[in-house]
């Protein structure tokens, strides 16, 4: 894990405090760092977190949440979506093509458009449902074979396909830097590619490295453990809602 000397461990039980401290720190960084964007968005990644922690954050007034598994997201958000009309749900995980309909139906943003077959399936569903979740293209900046994301060398053609042929609402790029390495060059690389294609939004930065991501111009940071504390095991979380 990349080490940040300045980062203090998140207190587990005080979600409102974690939230307040994080948003304060975000504002401070944005004032000081020359490349930082004005008012970046904090996506609270609620995957594998118990319902009471999510409700605690909702009570603090937060409305942007991220998930990476479809079934889990439906269990957690279907009812809450009716209660909180201004929720904004972000899908961050790998999308199976045959789940495109459900993803388009539930989510307002999709961060993980990463291959032509998926882009085609998503654009079909958007037309069918007349819904247009905003999309990020996920780029495999570390060119890791096991990881999702379009390879940088294929990005040009993929953007042409998504934007001009399929008319997908592509607003930016997303990356997940390799573990155990300095993420900053990856953030810088993503930023450069986005600029090249006039894409204004950058989804980058997680609990361990978000301060670096903000300084590199992230518009969306995705924080799980920094807000909620450690995740529950998958077993507990799928059964426990
Ligand atoms: C889980 C996840 C996060 C949040 O991770 P933390 O380290 O808990 O902040 C962010 N982005 C994606 C794509 C994830 O899957």
- pLDDT band per the 50, 70, 90 thresholds, residue 82: very high
From the CA of 111, give the closest atom in ligand 1.
Answer: 13
Predicted pLDDT of residue 2:
53
Does pLDDT of 6 surpass 90? no
Does pLDDT of 98 surpass 80? yes
The secondary structure of the chain, three-state, reads CCCCCCCCCCCCCCHHHHHHHHHHHHHHHHHHCCCCCCCCEEEEECCCCCHHHHHHHHHCCCCEEEECCHHHHHHHHHHHHHHCCCCEEEECCCCCHHHHHHHHHHCCEEEEECCHHHHHHHHHHHHHHCCCCEEEEEECCCCCCCCCCECHHHHHHHHHHHHHHCCCCEEEEECCCCCCCCCHHHHHHHHHHHHHCCCCEEECCCCCCHHHHHHCCCCEEEECHHHHCCCCCHHHHHHCC
Predicted pLDDT of residue 7:
56
137-161 pLDDT, tens per residue?
999 999 999 999 999 999 999 999 9
What would the mean pLDDT of 97-103 be, rounded to a whole number?
Answer: 98
Q: What is the mean pLDDT of the chain?
A: 93
**Distance between Cα 150 and ligand 1 center (Å):** 19
From the CA of 225, give the closest atom in ligand 1.
Answer: 8
Predicted pLDDT of residue 42:
98
- pLDDT band per the 50, 70, 90 thresholds, residue 13: confident
Does pLDDT of 12 surpass 60? no
Predicted pLDDT of residue 237:
41
Q: What angle do CA 107, 113, 117 make, to 5 degrees?
A: 115
What would the mean pLDDT of 68-89 be, rounded to a whole number?
Answer: 95
**End-to-end C-alpha distance for the chain, whole angstroms:** 30
| Residue linked to tokens 């059964």 | 239
Taking a C-beta distance cutoff of 8 angstroms, is the pair 184, 231 a contact? Answer: no
**Distance between Cα 121 and ligand 1 center (Å):** 25
Q: In this structure, what token pair is assigned to residue 53?
A: 């922690």
113-141 pLDDT, tens per residue?
999 999 999 999 999 999 999 999 999 99
**Distance between Cα 211 and ligand 1 center (Å):** 14
What would the mean pLDDT of 215-219 be, rounded to a whole number?
Answer: 98
Predicted pLDDT of residue 39:
93
Taking alpha carbons only, the member of 20, 12, 82 closest to residue 52 is 12
Does pLDDT of 37 surpass 70? yes
Pocket of ligand 1 (CB under 6 A): 45, 47, 68, 92, 176, 206-208, 222-226
């Amino acid at each position: 894990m990349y080490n940040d000397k300045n980062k203090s461990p998140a207190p587990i039980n005080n979600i409102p405090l974690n939230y307040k401290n994080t948003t304060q720190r975000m504002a401070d960084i944005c004032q000081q760092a020359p490349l930082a964007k004005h008012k970046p968005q904090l996506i609270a990644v609620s995957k594998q977190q118990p319902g009471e922690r999510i409700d605690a954050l909702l009570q603090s007034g937060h409305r942007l949440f991220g998930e990476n598994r479809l079934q889990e997201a439906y269990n957690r958000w279907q009812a809450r979506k009716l209660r909180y009309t201004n929720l904004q749900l972000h899908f961050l995980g790998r999308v199976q093509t045959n789940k495109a309909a459900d993803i388009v139906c539930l989510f307002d943003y999709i961060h993980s458009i990463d291959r032509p077959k998926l882009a085609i399936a998503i654009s079909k569903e958007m037309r069918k449902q007349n819904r247009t979740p905003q999309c990020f293209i996920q780029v495999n900046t570390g060119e890791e074979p096991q990881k999702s994301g379009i390879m940088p060398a294929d990005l040009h053609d993929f953007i042409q396909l998504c934007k001009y042929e399929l008319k997908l609402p592509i607003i930016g790029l997303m990356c997940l830097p390799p573990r155990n390495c300095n993420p900053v060059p990856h953030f810088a690389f993503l930023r450069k590619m986005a600029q090249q294609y006039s894409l204004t939004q950058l989804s980058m930065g997680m609990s361990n490295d978000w301060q670096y991501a903000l300084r590199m111009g992230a518009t969306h940071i995705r924080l799980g453990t920094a807000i909620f504390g450690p995740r529950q095991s998958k077993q507990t979380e799928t059964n426990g809602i």
